[in-house]
Structure 1
């Protein structure tokens, strides 16, 4: 996405920068394995940025494909994750929309008065 607007990525030693025409437009610092954006310069196109710092529980929730609190607690009991990590989970919109179901269509009423008034074909 960034290369489509002629941007360049540069990163080392726990920080990253996105440059456009050698001018920095976005900077981030690496915290718990995730780059947290420190500053954004407005451009003609839209940039999406997370403003608040995620908790360690939310990071593991996203790293382990949206695992629930019981799953995080089970991993913590085995010593794989830190104790009490499941208590810092917050609301995840992606989990809610992923569990949503579609509504079925209402059955239609077809009334015909003569032969071949209603023809169904499968192409």
Structure 2
């Protein structure tokens, strides 16, 4: 999780009315079906919650459009950011556990951060800089979905 803030952010109520503490908030990156890195902002950290839930209201606030017609789709502009099928009465998205960010002090080694620092440079350009040793400690270049780049085109 990036930009993580800890404090008491209140309670999250389950369907059975059990209240769970919201212990923190931050941004999280997920890799989608298409290999896109999808950044969810202001994600609540609820230690006792066993599943990751995505708030349709928060997606709406952040400018995403969600369609649910047997297939769950999250769209920003003309780009399908995430999708999956309806399973029973729930719309779910399957993501490998290793794709969810862990808490990281590795911020200086992030491709996305360097992409932003370099004025939204292309992956190709960044790979050239890495091969010449111009970006210290960056081992791999993988930028993924970048909202400003999409809207700038």
Instruction: Classify the TM-score, shorter chain.
Output: 0.3 to 0.5
Which is bigger in relative contact order (C-alpha 8 A, separation at least 6)? Answer: 2
Q: Which has the larger radius of gyration?
A: 1
TM-score (norm 1): 0.38
TM-score (norm 2): 0.32
Greater fraction strand: 2
